[in-house]
Amino acid sequence: MSNLLLTAEKVGIQFGGLKAVQNVNMYLNKGELIGLIGPNGAGKTTTFNMLTGVYQPTEGTITFDGKKLNGLKPFQVTKLGISRTFQNIRLFKDLSVLDNVKVANHNLAKHSLLASILRLPSHFAGEAKMEKESIEFLKIFGLDVYKDELAKNLPYGMQRRLEIARALAANPKLLLLDEPAAGMNPQETHDLMELIAFIRKEFDLTILLIEHDMHLVMGICERIYVLDHGQLIADGTPEEIRNNPKVIEAYLGEEVID
Ligand SMILES: Nc1ncnc2c1ncn2[C@@H]1O[C@H](COP(=O)(O)OP(=O)(O)OP(=O)(O)O)[C@@H](O)[C@H]1O
């Protein structure tokens, strides 16, 4: 059986006259933790938007778990098993931490709508199961102590963690993280690195990560793709990327990356 989870073949998108992304070929194997880096405006978030049905590619094909993603809406992509976080935190700010996770879990809840409406025993069993699962999620993220707090009242680093917990509550096969360490201090970033490595293992996940923090990317990713002006200019191991002249010129500059 193939180990491939996702392939993007010659994928691109054009906004008016601007080719924001072009001719991107990418593959993700099951269980891999992969980085996507590049300068501001290189097309990283646009690529995420195409992988999640927010934007439709104007060229190329995206295949996930044997199914073509082109033409699917974001909720259909989520159902197939792709979840994401956003560069700017998007939580239900006026809901509790627990409810934020439960809402995500609800989208995929197994018990039927009819059972919910009629308040049948299976509905309560489903609710109880969901509540238990949601609290288990929060524990993994060290968020259970905040479960009744409103999301907006959490410290910034904890809000970022809640976003990841919420994305995971949808039970994805592939998790896309858009700059999860943005705005975090070095200690929070270090803890986040450990958390990402842990959840990948614990949930048997494949993760694609956009991140400007090179220490984080180089520290945990097995392979890295580099975008510049909408085109992939390199892919390889952190070691290969660190020493790639094209990448150094386009992105890393003279910066020494340890
Ligand atoms: N809906 C849109 N309409 C027009 N242009 C867009 C749209 N979305 C993205 N772009 C353009 O596509 C290009 C790539 O943007 P994108 O946000 O993907 O870059 P990025 O690599 O994620 O950058 P950053 O690191 O700053 O987040 C930019 O020139 C951007 O202005």
Cα gap 199→48, rounded to integer Å: 20
User: What type of residue sits at position 198?
Assistant: F
pLDDT at 125: 66
pLDDT at 132: 83
Distance from Cα 23 to the centre of ligand 1, integer Å? 16
Contact 9, 60 (CB under 8 A): yes
DSSP string, 7-27: EEEEEEEEETTEEEEEEEEEE
- Residue 31 reports pLDDT greater than 90: yes
Q: Which of 40, 46, 231 has most ligand 1 atoms within 8 Å of its beta carbon, as the pocket-test mutant?
A: 46
Nearest residue to 81 via CA among 179, 167, 180, 178: 167
Question: What are 117-159's pLDDT values in tens digits?
Answer: 556 666 666 677 778 878 888 998 899 999 999 999 999 888 9
User: What type of residue sits at position 4?
Assistant: L
Cα gap 2→65, rounded to integer Å: 10
Q: What are the distances in angstroms from CA 210 to CA 1, 51, 54? A: 29, 13, 17
Q: Is 44 in the pocket of ligand 1 (CB under 6 A)?
A: yes
All residues at 6 or more sequence positions from 214 whose CB lies less than 8 Å from its CB, including other chains: 37, 252, 255, 257
pLDDT at 116: 55
Determine how β-strand 18-29 pairs with β-strand 4-15: antiparallel
pLDDT at 196: 93
Q: What tokens does 251 get?
A: 């992105």
Q: Looking at ligand 1, which atom is closest to the CA of residue 49?
A: 18
Domains of the chain, start order: 1-81+172-258 (3.40.50.300), 93-169 (no CATH)
User: What type of residue sits at position 123?
Assistant: H
Cα gap 13→23, rounded to integer Å: 9
Ligand 1, atom 7: closest residue by C-alpha: 15
Residue 168 binned pLDDT confidence (cut-offs 50, 70, 90): confident
Residue 113 binned pLDDT confidence (cut-offs 50, 70, 90): low
Q: Is 41 in the pocket of ligand 1 (CB under 6 A)?
A: yes
All residues at 6 or more sequence positions from 155 whose CB lies less than 8 Å from its CB, including other chains: none
Beta bridge partners of 61: 9
* Of 187 and 133, the one with more pLDDT: 187
Q: What is the DSSP letter of 151?
A: G
pLDDT at 111: 47
Q: Is 42 in the pocket of ligand 1 (CB under 6 A)?
A: yes
- Residue 110 reports pLDDT greater than 80: no
Ligand 1, atom 30: closest residue by C-alpha: 41
- Residue showing tokens 């479960």: 147
Ligand 1, atom 9: closest residue by C-alpha: 46
Q: Is the ipTM of this complex over 0.90?
A: yes
- Residue 115 reports pLDDT greater than 90: no
Please give the mean pLDDT across all residues of the chain.
88
Cα gap 32→219, rounded to integer Å: 14
pLDDT at 133: 79
Beta bridge partners of 150: 96
Distance from Cα 43 to the centre of ligand 1, integer Å? 5
pLDDT at 148: 95
Q: Looking at ligand 1, which atom is closest to the CA of residue 227?
A: 21
The string over 228-249, giving b where at least 16 C-beta atoms fall within 10 Å of a residue's C-beta and e elsewhere, is bebbbbbbeebeebbebeebbe
Q: What is the DSSP letter of 150?
A: B
